[in-house]
Chains A and B, each alone.
Chain A
Amino acid sequence: MWRYALRRLLQAVPVFAGTTLLIYAMVFALPGDPIQALAGDKPVPESVLRTLRERYNLDDPLLVQYGKYMWGLLRGDLGENYTGQKVAEMLGGRWTVTARLAVTAWMFELTIGVLLGVWAGLRRGRMADTLVLGGTTLLIAVPVFVLGYTAQILFGLRWEVFPTAGTDGGWPASYVLPGMVLGSLGLSYVARLTRTSLAENLRADYVRTANAKGLSRMRVVGRHALRNSLIPVVTYLGVDFGSLMGGAIVTEGIFNLPGIGQQVFQSIQLKEGPVVVGAVTVLVLIFLLVNLLVDLLYGLLDPRIRYG
């Protein structure tokens, strides 16, 4: 297993180099002059323009810019944005916000999603099942911002259960509402995956065997059927954690959480290459790591799975 993990980690190196270059190239290809964008309609003297273009290597060709960026990265320097703020500092405080939000959403997905899935899976074709299927379809269909603003108005304004926005309430108060909104899409998929997978496994031979042995219902469902059924769910949850980290743009905007999603959005508009690449690089790393963990988890869920 350790050899397998090591090999996966080594594979991450070219993936990492490739993605950063790709992202750098994409930001580079965006239209617009970042320095002019910074100044808006106010006049900028030639001396200032020249200084800024040199400071941020803006006149270099793509590969030279990327090379300089990577050289800095290897020395632990993430560079600066075009107003002179250190990217590491800019992202540092924001990661904790996004991570908290993602973990909240993820926990919500995991607990409520699996519970709903089990509930529906055990009652296939009956009222509960129809309710879960209908409810999750609705959640998938409603755009995140509609859900966000509605939740904000109901829970924040009308009933005053949660703060409407910001991080002043700390964790969990400020994160419950945005976490639920962000996790609602994933929750639907988790519930549906669990339901289908469980319903199928309940009809499998080994469940019939377990039932025939006279094991309690709890044991049959919990230890035998559910454990097997969770493999596709865990796969999904792993992939989804990565997308939760990156996909929080809308939610962070609505709830005014100063996280990574917000920063990436602003930085793309301002064409701030180093910030975008810095943020996305860490996202790629997390994504790779979480997926490795998921693959390792398979073994715990199903001992027949071996790592070669």
Chain B
Amino acid sequence: MTGLRGSRRGVRRSAGAGRGTAGLAALLLAASLGASGCGGGGEPGDGTFTAGHPEPDHLVPANTTSSYSFDVLSGLFDNLVGLTREGKGVNLAAASVTSDDQKVWTIKIRPGQRFHNGEPVTAGSFADGWNNAAYGPNAYGANAYFSHIEGYAAMNPRDGRAKPRADRLSGVQVVDEGTLRVTLTDPFNQFPLLLSYPAFAPMPKAGLGDLESFEEHPIGNGPYMMSGDWERNRQIKLVAYPGYTGPRKPKNKGVTWKSYSSAETAYTDLRAGRLDVLQTIPSAKVPEARRLLGDRFLPREMGTVDYLGFPLFDRRFASPDLRKAISMSIDRQGINKAVYNGDYIPADSLLPAIITGHRPNACGDLCTYDPVRAKELYAKSGGFKGTLELYFSNAQPTYYQWMQIVANSLRQNLGIEDIEFRQVPASDYFAMLNKRTEKGPYRQNWEADYPSAQNYLENMWSSGSNRMGWKSAEFDGLIARANRSDDQQEALRLYNQAEDVALREMPMIPLWTWAGQGGRSERVGNVTITAYATGLLANEVTVG
């Protein structure tokens, strides 16, 4: 009885306690309401906008190959050559880039340009930056991109333990303040496009003198300059640089790149109006975003292609007919619908559509789903014996999804029953491919460093660099002739001939080109996201 009465009395007490809690909650709520009012994106009316992406790794241009760093760097720096939204080369810091023999290039710098700290941009700014980038012991991320230039080998001895014989690229000569002469190891007519790659940015003397503070506060020559230092894992604020004289004059006052560790969260912020531009909406949210964002949903083509490579060093894959049979038994459009909402583009060539030199249907029947013909070719090749192992990394869940469909196709259409999956940790995947320890077809993709057919073909199929163990003197010869040609049209024709050789032998089959989906807020307009390293054309965006 006492217990009962006691607890009834307790009701009042704890009702009091309840009020206390309500009071506390109200207090917290009020405090947060007050603070969250100014917590959102860029402050309205100041002419700047926000864009979301994962955290960059470096802001010294040549020390990174990450697209998240490029987002920021392409605003901070004007390379000699830039890209139009169609992926054509256009002079930015250069007045001209010319060569008679495609081997020795003369570059005139557009006069009157200054870095954000007032230092003039000269031929030396480029030479210094490149020398710093190409020097092996500096261990810069984009070091390998300088290998076309004479003198690179002396700075990066094959035996990594040896001390380099030189610390400057002998092929880069400063003729005078406004002229740079670059000598390449081999004739290379795509060199101007290579110069658009972020690693070829100029470096001011102040930056090379103190690289540590340069990393926190890069000083560039581009349309935007840093406002404050890099706030790691939070944001990087760029504001329009008043002294900019180049062709990319900003139509806004600035852009703040906010760092997100989760794509879902970035998307939620876009929906909440706390973020103005998001270049990549997570694939699971794409159908919803398409519905919710309306004309603020921004789909785009991309330059990333997925391929399925064959280890030709394993004799079971030696027959081109077997490889062609596998290609023809894969239903590219079906997989695209099942895994990628039908947004990806089934491959009809080794090159994506955004690259000059892409020929629709270059692959022809070989990339067309045709189970009957596939079975015939498979029989002709003598078939496949043993276990077929399929290799892919765990970097994205969709890889496993489409590999399963591929496996089913091979079972049904070719009668290969014994199939196993080899899902490898992403950090191990390329090491495995480099050591050639895979025993079956493997997933491979490529994204253009600079928009040229050469960038795909030479990196992925030439005997010196391909992973398949494929050797073709014919292919290599055509690429070399194309690189040497002083006529761009002739070069393109030769690249396409080389592509035909690779298609004929099919050491690696193309699967599909990726598609990207972005979105914008109501505050911003004229948002263009290109398929190239430059990504978002930040200077074109209008605010308000």
Residues of A within 8 A of B (CB): 31-34, 36-52, 55, 83, 90, 93-94, 111-112, 115, 118-119, 122-124, 126, 149, 152-153, 156-157, 160-170, 172-174, 176, 202, 211, 217-218, 221, 252-256, 258, 262, 266, 269-271
Contacts and interface: CB of A to CB of B under 8 A. Distances in A.
A46 B159 contact: yes
A32 to B, nearest CB: 3
Contacts, number: 200
A254 B65 contact: no
B28 interface: yes
Interface string B147-184: 10000000111111100100000000000000000000
B39 interface: yes
Contacts of B65: 39-40, 42
Given A118-B17, A254-B264, A47 B427 contact: no
Which of A51, A55, A93, A255 counts the most B-chain CB atoms under 10 A from its CB? A51
Contacts of B269: 164-166, 256
B58 A115 contact: no
Given A165-B268, A258-B232, 11 more contacts: A41-B444, A45-B143, A45-B156, A48-B160, A115-B14, A122-B10, A166-B234, A167-B234, A173-B34, A218-B13, A258-B259
Contact of B40 (A163, A172, A218): A163
Contacts of A115: 14, 17-18, 20-21
A31 B428 contact: yes
B35 A164 contact: no
Nearest to B60: A84
Interface string B1-27: 011001101110110011011001000
B14 A118 contact: yes
B10 A123 contact: yes
Contact of B32 (A48, A122, A161, A252): A161
Interface residues of B, number: 72
Nearest to B21: A115
Contact of A217 (B9, B143, B425): B9
B274 interface: yes
Given A165-B268, A254-B265, A45 B431 contact: no
B36 A163 contact: yes
Summarize A's interface: helix, strand, loop or mixed.
Answer: helix
Interface of B: 2-3, 6-7, 9-11, 13-14, 17-18, 20-21, 24, 28-29, 31-36, 39-40, 57-58, 65, 136-144, 147, 155-161, 164, 232-234, 258-262, 264-266, 268-269, 271-272, 274, 425-428, 430-431, 434, 444-446, 465
Contacts of A123: 7, 10-11
B275 to A, nearest CB: 9
Nearest to A218: B13
Given A36-B431, A50-B160, A161 B29 contact: yes
B20 to A, nearest CB: 8
A254 B156 contact: no
The 6 closest A-B pairs by CB, nearest first: A50-B160, A47-B136, A32-B427, A169-B39, A258-B233, A37-B427
Given A37-B426, A46-B159, A168 B21 contact: no
15 contacts: A36-B428, A45-B136, A55-B139, A93-B233, A122-B14, A161-B32, A161-B33, A164-B268, A164-B269, A166-B234, A170-B39, A173-B33, A176-B28, A253-B262, A269-B426
Nearest to A49: B160
A86 B419 CA distance: 46
B236 to A, nearest CB: 13
Contacts of B266: 165, 256
B509 to A, nearest CB: 18
Given A119-B14, A217-B9, A41 B430 contact: yes
A17 to B, nearest CB: 28
A39 B141 contact: yes
Contacts of B268: 152-153, 156-157, 164-165
A48 B39 contact: no
Given A39-B141, A165-B265, A165-B269, A173 B136 contact: no
Contact of A52 (B6, B33, B139, B444): B139
A168 B234 CA distance: 9
Contact of B265 (A44, A50, A256): A256
Which of A37, A90, A126 counts the most B-chain CB atoms under 10 A from its CB? A37
Contacts of A202: 3
Contacts of A157: 268, 271-272
A2 to B, nearest CB: 36
Contact of B431 (A32, A112, A167): A32
Nearest to A222: B13
Contact of A262 (B34, B261, B427, B446): B261
Contacts of B271: 157
A217 B164 contact: no
B427 A33 contact: yes
Contacts of A160: 36, 272
Contact of A112 (B7, B21, B39, B156): B21
Which of B24, B35, B144, B232 counts the most A-chain CB atoms under 10 A from its CB? B35
Contact of B7 (A38, A122, A162): A122
Contact of B428 (A33, A49, A118, A254): A33
B186 to A, nearest CB: 17
Given A118-B14, A255-B265, A31 B21 contact: no
A160 B32 CA distance: 11
A49 B159 CA distance: 11
A52 B2 CA distance: 76
Given A45-B144, A46-B159, A55-B139, A172 B262 contact: no
Contact of A221 (B13, B57, B446): B13
